[in-house]
Structures are given as structure tokens and as C-alpha cells.
Amino acid sequence: MSKRIEVIGLSCYYGQYRAVADVTMTIEPKAVTALIGPSGCGKSTFLRSLNRLHEVVPGARIEGQVLLDDYDIYGSDVDAVMLRRSVGMVFQRPNPFPTMSIFDNVAAGLKLTRQKGKDLSDVVEQALVGAHLWDEVKDRLKKPAVALSGGQQQRLCIARAIAVEPEVLLMDEPCSALDPISTLAIEDLMAELKDRYTIVIVTHNMQQASRVSEMTGFFSLAAAGEPGKLVEFDATSKVFSTPTHKRTEDYITGRVG
């Protein structure tokens, strides 16, 4: 089910301003790929170009290629709306729909394409099980989603994302708004999820990156105003012990913020 993503010479622009320059990497299936680097170096922009979510900003565009299992997601016949069913996303702050119940939140994506009247409870249950949330909420599926704690809400958002059965799961600093216990719970969840999905996670927390990922990419800026570049992309163990580039090493060891 999970797919390989190949990024070839990708640059992300907001109008004339180039935010990310010339990224080339291969994201392997059934693995977690972590993207680390200081603030403002384009990690999130790059992540959003993988499900074309950056396009909601007027004037945003890319150059280069992104292939999902050899298929160009920026091809002329591709509708971004449908692409996002294959490439799901979880955000920094948990954002369940406030007017919906837990059940309705998980089913939200499904309701968009399912035929009317189909029974969604099985799929919802599967998704909640997959997100390690089922046991905690199975008795109150119809209660409002906003009544859950922060960690629970984020797992709910993960359940919502995997309910539509994507192939790739993008996670933009999913734990930065959570307490340490919830963070660990989600990291455990990621270890399980990677068997079914290709996972790409942007994180500020280097320890987290070294804990959960197989591959790590380090983004950095040469100077203020310059576009972000992928400085190094290698196996996590190598990046964190014997990085090839000095800038990587400076960041890892905390010499540079």
C-alpha cells in the first residue's frame, strides 16, 4: 500500500521568492523519513509540496518533479483534490472539526466520496484502532471531538487521516504542541503505522528524529533571505553519528541553532 516518493530537483516558489531550492531525495516506503533543520529553512514548505497543499497560497508554485511511484503528481491531468486522498497530512496543532463528534470527525474524509447511506462504523473503528485511540473513545463516539485531551485529539486527527486509506502520511511537527507522554504515545504509533504507510515527518526535536526515523534529511539556509536547501540526506544512524557535512554536524551538536 505504501509508495515510494521520488523528488527530483524540486524548488518551491511563492511568487518570485524562492523558498526551497533544488531538493532531490527518494523517500522509501514502509519507513519513516525525518526532515530536520532550523526554523524557516523551508521544511514545512517542502512537505506541503508533497500533497500540493502549498497551492492554497496564491502565487505558490514549484519547479522540478515529484513522483509518487513513478507518477508525476504535478501532471496536467492530476487533480490536487484527489491527490490529497493518497497523500494525507497531520498538522502541528490538533485540528478536529469542532462542530462534529468523534465519529463524524473520523468519517469526515470518507463522507466526501462514499455513496450515501453506507455504514461507516467499521471503517471508523478500524481507523481508531490503527491510531491507538479506539479503547479510549469506543463508548463515546458521538461526543464532541473537542472534549478530548490534546494527545487524544492528535491521535483523532491521525485516525481521520488514515481513514481515507492514503498511501503516504505527512506529519508536520505533530508532537510539538503535546506533552511528553502524548508525544511518546504518538511515536509508538508511528512505529506501527510505517508498516502500512510511507511516513514523512518534519520535526524540531532531534531526539525524536533519531528515535523514529530510518532516513533523515537536514535542511538549512546558507544565509538569511536565501532559499532553504537539503544539505544532507542519509540513514538516520549515519546522520546523527558521522554526518558528512560540517553544517549538519554543527546543527546536530547544537553549535548552530
Partner 1 sequence: MAAPGSVLASRRVRRFESFRAITAAAALITLVLLLAVAIFLVVKAIPALRADTASFLTAKGWQPDSTPPVFGVAALAFGTLLSSALALAMAVPVAVGVAVFIVEYAPKRIASWLGYAVDLLAAVPSVVFGLWGVVFLIPRMTGFQHWLATRFGWFPLFADPDGQTATASRSIFVAAVVLAIMVLPIVAAISREVLRQVDPALKEAALALGATQWEMVRMAVLAPSRAGIAGGVMLGLGRALGETIAVALVLGTSFAINWHVLTPGGNTIAANIANYFAEAGPTGRSALIASGLVLFAMTLFVNTVARTVIYRGAVRRGGDR
Partner 2 sequence: MTATTHSAHLATDGVHVWKIRGRRAVVNRLAAFAMYLAMGVALVPLIAVLWYTVGRGLSRFSLNFLTHSMAGVGPLDRNGGAYHAILGTVEQVLLASLMAVPLGLLVAIYLNEYGSRTMAAIVRLLVDVMTGIPSIVAGLFVFAFWVLALHKGFSGFAGSMALAVLMLPVVVRSAEEMLRLVPSAFREAAYALGIAKWRTILSIVLPTASTGITTGVMLAVARVTGETAPLLLTVFGNQYINGNPFHGAQSGLPLLIFQQASSAYPASVDRAWAAAFTLILIVVVLYVGARLLTRRDALNQR
Q: Judged by CB under 8 A, which of 4, 85, 93, 245 binds partner 2?
A: 85
Of the candidates 79, 42, 41, 30, the residue with the CA atom closest to the CA atom of residue 198:
30
CA–CA gap between residue 96 and residue 79 (Å, rounded): 25
Residue 179, number of CB atoms within 10 A of its CB? 12
The yes or no reply on residue 235 touching partner 2 (CB under 8 A) is: no
Cβ closest to partner 1, residue 98 vs residue 225: 98
Q: Cell numbers for 111, please give them.
A: 463522507
CA–CA gap between residue 80 and residue 57 (Å, rounded): 14
Spell out, one character per residue from 178 to 217, where the chain touches partner 2: x when CB under 8 A holds, - when not.
----------------------------------------
Minimum distance of partner 1 from residue 160's CB (angstroms) = 7
Spell out, one character per residue from 96 to 135, where the chain touches partner 2: x when CB under 8 A holds, - when not.
----------------xx----------------------
Cβ closest to partner 2, residue 23 vs residue 83: 83
The sheet carrying 60-68 orders its strands as: 71-72, 60-68, 5-14, 17-27, 228-235, 215-221, 32-36, 198-202, 168-172, 87-90
Of the candidates 60, 15, 32, the residue with the CA atom closest to the CA atom of residue 196:
32
Cβ closest to partner 1, residue 96 vs residue 217: 96
Region of 31-39, 43-51, 66-74, 141-149 interacting with partner 2 (CB under 8 A): 66-74
CA–CA gap between residue 160 and residue 112 (Å, rounded): 13
Cβ closest to partner 2, residue 83 vs residue 252: 83
Q: What is the DSSP letter of 167?
A: S
Region of 9-17, 70-78, 199-207, 239-247 interacting with partner 2 (CB under 8 A): 70-78
By the criterion CB under 8 A, which residues form the site for partner 2?
1, 68-69, 71, 73, 77-79, 81-83, 85-86, 112-113, 165
